[in-house]
Amino acid sequence: MSIDPGNIEEVSSNFDSSGELRPAKIAIVGRPNVGRSTIFNRLAGKKLAIVNDTPGVTRDVREVRSKLRGHNMVLMDTAGFENAKGHKIEAKMRAQTELAVLDADIVLFVYDAREGVTPLDRTFAQYVRRTNKTTFLVANKCESSASDAGITDGYSLGMGDPIEVAAEHNIGFGELDDAVELALRDVDLNLRDDNIDYEEAPVRIAIVGRPNAGKSTLINTLIGENRLLVGPEAGITRDSITIDYMWQGRRVQFHDTAGLRKKSKVHETLEVLSVQDTLRAIKFAQVVILLMDSTQPLDKQDLQIAALCEREGRALVLGASKWDLVSNKSEASKFLRDETKRLLPQLRGLEIIMFSGLTGKSVDRLLPAIERVQINWSAKVKTSDLNDWLREKVQRHPPPAVNGRRIKPKYISQTKTRPPTFILKCSRATKLPESYKRYLINGLREDFDLPSVPIRFFVRADENPYDNTVRKQGIEPLRTKDRP
């Protein structure tokens, strides 16, 4: 199971060895804007990676489990190779791409046939050749005769015959599939195995928040490696990146997402695509960690994101990152808890974890909190217990009469989990006040220990079984004046 239902599953890059043989890894590499992500989407069979004409859209290595003619494989979409060094983000992207090449069994080296071979192509090709990986040269954008000269240039890279494709128009992928299939047969799959049981459904955890809240830093700290690009710049993450991880024998998936800004400030097409990817991650997650900057907690945008998660029915954990920057921690903690109760009453009992993703202090409290919330999110309450509880609640505080007529709650049951969903049958259902619904919802949350999760509560009219029976038989019930 993955964030996107189907036979495709996004995975992380590195695992400890023990257990089942892993699938072959295929890295799709090249310089910026040659069409790597488009080829990745075509081979994966789904539009997973963000595609845009802007160079350098892909920054982190994105992976997806897929199959090609019965062969299991992991496709890796990498950042565009740039000749940069130092601490710039381009240098970090280059380092991630080089690591992906070393980790791969097969490399698809992509270049732009319309533009021809560039000096940067030659530099990167030299690096790839030194790794001695099984490599295929892919000439992209070959939909017209304008690419003929560039295809000929490809031979100078020393990677064999170029495979001509036009990813945007889905041309040439039959030949590419043939070449990759032959290589998959020859790849030694005994090089390394992993400790992930892919038959087990993972707990899907989306980490969301405003830009620069520390989402990628948190995931790197949790998994113990520098898997995601981090830096002081806001908006480094663009794609929703999935990381598989084993915690206490359980499989979890972290989904690192792009920061969500106010809707009025999102104008550029690339940011719109990033926001859509983040919303998709929230929709398919089970638990959402809403990450806030402790120096500026509970911003209006934070509250809107929390409300969005509640509407989507996701279990929520509030994470206060950068806690090491807070001077008066006891006062800040009290303020944060009090304001959360006041501003998010629909999520009463919300778990709040204060930690520092950079130093790792108190990060170990996060996964146990996620486990507790996920258990509550999946809770099932017995119908008999619910109805005993309903009678007690109604006796203690009956619903108010409307227009001089009483409302009688009669029966309650839980129809769904994830999130817990309840249906109340009562007379004059449309007249039951919202305040009384809130009274019952809060009672459910407190009496059955369901904090931090949204509760769905529906009121339905209680039908008269006699009326239904006689109407089905074609008999109208007697009116009062007709009765003897």
CA torsion 460→466→470→475, rounded to 10°?
-100
What pLDDT is stored for residue 6 in this prediction?
Answer: 36
d(CA 191, CA 437): 59
Q: What's the pTM? A: 0.75
Q: Which residues pair with 309 in a beta bridge?
A: none
DSSP state letters, 229-249: ---SSTT---S-EEEEEEETT
Q: What token pair was written down for 340?
A: 């959360």
- Series of mean pLDDT values for 10-residue runs along the chain (484 residues): 35 40 85 90 84 69 85 88 77 86 93 93 93 94 91 93 93 92 74 54 89 88 82 69 83 87 74 84 92 89 92 93 90 92 89 91 92 92 94 92 86 93 90 92 92 91 59 51 48
Which amino acid, one-letter code, is at 193? D
d(CA 477, CA 256): 61
d(CA 222, CA 343): 29
Indicate if the alpha-carbon torsion angle 360, 242, 308, 288 is positive or negative.
negative
Q: Which domains does the chain have, with CATH numbers?
A: 24-186 (3.40.50.300), 203-377 (3.40.50.300), 383-468 (3.30.300.20)
Q: Which residues lie below 8 Å from residue 148, measured CB to CB, with a gap of 6+?
A: none
Cβ atoms 206, 255 nearer than 8 A? yes
What pLDDT is stored for residue 13 in this prediction?
Answer: 38
Q: What is the DSSP letter of 141?
A: -
Strand, coil or helix: 210:
coil
What pLDDT is stored for residue 176 in this prediction?
Answer: 93
What pLDDT is stored for residue 389 in this prediction?
Answer: 95
d(CA 341, CA 119): 59
What pLDDT is stored for residue 197 in this prediction?
Answer: 57
Rg for the chain, CA atoms, rounded: 28
d(CA 32, CA 94): 11
CB neighbours of residue 341 within 10 Å: 13
Cβ atoms 326, 310 nearer than 8 A? no
d(CA 348, CA 74): 41
What pLDDT is stored for residue 411 in this prediction?
Answer: 92
Instruction: Describe the strand order of the beta sheet including 351-354 as a list of residue ranges.
Output: 241-247, 250-256, 203-209, 287-293, 315-321, 351-354
Cβ atoms 257, 215 nearer than 8 A? yes
For the stretch 46-82, what's the b/e string if a residue is b when 16 or more beta carbons lie within 10 angstroms of its beta carbon? eebbbbbeeebbbbbbbbbbbebeebebbbbbbbbbb
What pLDDT is stored for residue 470 in this prediction?
Answer: 46
Alpha helix segments (H runs only) across 227-328: 269-284, 300-311
Cis amide leading into 419 (omega within 30): yes
